Amino acid sequence: MLKRHLPNLLSYFLYRITNTTSEGINSVIQARRYAAHGFRSFGNYRTRVPFYCGRLDLKPQLPRH
Where along the chain do its domains lie? 18-54
Check residue 8 and give its pLDDT. 85
- The region, left, alpha or beta by phi > 0 then psi within -120 to 50, assigned to residue 16 is left
CA angle 31, 37, 40 (to 5 degrees): 130
Which comes out higher in pLDDT, residue 6 or 36? Answer: 6
Reply yes or no on whether the pLDDT at 7 is more than 80.
Answer: yes
Q: What pLDDT, on the 0 to 100 scale, is given for residue 12?
A: 86
Each residue of 21-65: pLDDT tens digit? Answer: 889 888 888 887 777 667 677 787 777 777 777 766 767 677 776
**9 three-class SS:** helix
**pLDDT of 36:** 65
